[in-house]
Each structure stands twice: as structure tokens, then as C-alpha cells.
Amino acid sequence: FNLPQPIYMNVVRDPVERVISWYYYVRAPWYYVERKQIFPDLALPDPEWLKKDFESCVLNGDRECRYIEGEYHEGIGDHRRQTLFFCGHSEKCT
């Protein structure tokens, strides 16, 4: 195709499995112990938020369980957008 050879390759997870995994990862008790050690002033989340299962989150339409095209979090691309793995480093890719 007369194109430069790639210098890296990306492999991604099933997008649904990735979001479910992230959901439970940020609710794991050890995650907050670790974060509290790094950021002592960080407020702990509500215990009910920590206990909520993924299905309830989706059915309730909670913010972290919705994908809104073009939505960004703290200046970085949405963690649910796997296109970030393929886009590159230009501004339009974030």
C-alpha cells in the first residue's frame, strides 16, 4: 500500500467487558486504600456507591454507566472510548 511500516500494535479488550471491569476496579476496597495513601485529603466515596452493582448502575442511568459521545473527564478522553488506542497523539484524538 506504499505506507510506512507500523512501529507498534494495539490489542484491545471486548469493549463491554472492559467497562464492566473498570466499574468494579474503581469500587474495590484496596483501590481506595491505595488512593488515600497517595492523596490523604481525598474524600472517601459513599458506601452505597461502592456496593452498587453494574446492572443497577446501567438501569438507573448513572453518569459513569452512560456513554455520551464527545464527553470528556478531567481533560482526558473517556475511558470507555477504545478508539483512543488507535487514534494517535494529536489533539483531536483526546
Judge whether 59 lies within some domain.
yes
pLDDT in tens, 63-93: 888 877 766 655 444 566 676 667 766 676 6
- Rounded to an integer, what distance in angstroms lies between the CA atom of residue 80 and that of residue 32? 21
| CB-CB neighbours of 32 under 10 Å | 15
Judge whether 50 lies within some domain.
yes
Judge whether 19 lies within some domain.
yes
pLDDT in tens, 9-49: 778 888 888 889 888 988 998 898 999 999 999 898 899 99
Judge whether 69 lies within some domain.
yes
Report the residue count for the chain.
94
Number of domains into which the chain is organized: 1
* Type of residue numbered 93: C
Q: What is the domain extent for residue 48?
A: 15-93
